[in-house]
Structure 1
Amino acid sequence: MTSRTRARWTSAAIIVGTLILIASIAGTFWVQQGRIDIGAARYDNLSAKYDRLFTQYSRLYGDCAESTNCEPTAPAPEAIPGPQGSAGAAGPAGRDATDAQIAAAVRDYCDARLGCAGTPGIGTPGRDGTDGKDGKDGQTIVGPPGATGATGATGATGETGAPGPAGADGQPPLSWTYTDALGIQYSCTRTDPFDPTAPTYSCAPTPIGDQQ
């Protein structure tokens, strides 16, 4: 028999054993539950019979007490508590709620109560505080001037500008002198009236004292 076949037989045996154990536990549970149901039915039957007898006894006792020619000698009807049943088996310990479950429960609780907002306080408002003192003006500190930067490079020559308008026409001289071939110097001055467009002069020998 190979190891693989052995592993299969082992797995099958484990599964069969588990199924048998589960069936045994389930059978025991159903048998026990059947006994509990039978006992509960018996108790309910006896309790119903007791209730009927107690009701009849209470009615007879009341009729005798109200009658003029009947005096009850039996004790007054009182409910007698039955024996206390035995405590059931303790159930398995419950699991603690997770953080997510707690947060969800708190959120649902607060949603149903308007966000868990508390009632407004009733205290009186506090007094206004006193105004603080005015702060002092800060001092403006002027730093030393920075060093002069280096002279920038000369820019490129700009384009030649357009020619300016023509200047005003020149005026003839006010006076002028000349010397003739004989060495006599003459002084010429403008005539009156003088027309710059057609200037005329009158010339006369310069006095000897004024010659240059």
Structure 2
Amino acid sequence: MSKFAFSLATATLIAGSASAATFDVFTDRALFEAALTGPVTLETFDAITEDVSFAGGSATVGGLTIIADDDGSFGNSIIDAPPVQSEIDGNGTTALNIFTSSVFDAAIEFASPILAVGADFFNFNDGQLRTEINILGETFTPDITAAGSLNFFGVISDTPFTRVDFEGVNNDVFGIDNVTSAQATDVPTVVPLPASLPFLVLGVVGFGLLRRRKS
């Protein structure tokens, strides 16, 4: 094998290792939790006894920061303490009241990198596709549900992440409760490759071509 071919093969191998994250999706909390290993964190929001708005801003609870660019005109985007608004009342306890639309999105950020997240969703995507979930550039479209439905949705990733985005498609008011985050069983931690990797590959290829031309 020529030096150029070896250099190109090496560069290709390095570039190939920068693959996208892969995910396992769960719609059953018991199966999701069975796949987790410690430490596992559960945020119920029950320590919040008065409504806290994060419309057009953020609010922090434990290791979570909830963010919304909702302007607050609909009275949503709050940590909703009892009595909980009917649109998001899954079990009568404090929950996140999230509003998304084709204009407004929301997000949850985690204080430390995680490999798994799951939560109970009330009235999410009721009747039609209203909100999609994005993690590390991967878009998830949870099932359309009946009005008043309480459903679980969770993912386990092979790549650490710190943010979950809720991207509006149509108007959606929904509740999020019992947010569970953790590392997952037998999932290796991936060390991110430098952003300059493409330039390194191009440099190796260019150097090989130059050496080949001189010879």
Same-fold call, TM cutoff 0.5 = no
More helix by share: 1
Structure whose alpha-carbon radius of gyration is higher: 1
Answer 1 or 2: higher relative contact order, Cα 8 Å, separation at least 6.
2
Greater strand share, 1 or 2? 2
In the superposition, the TM-score normalised over structure 1's length comes to 0.17
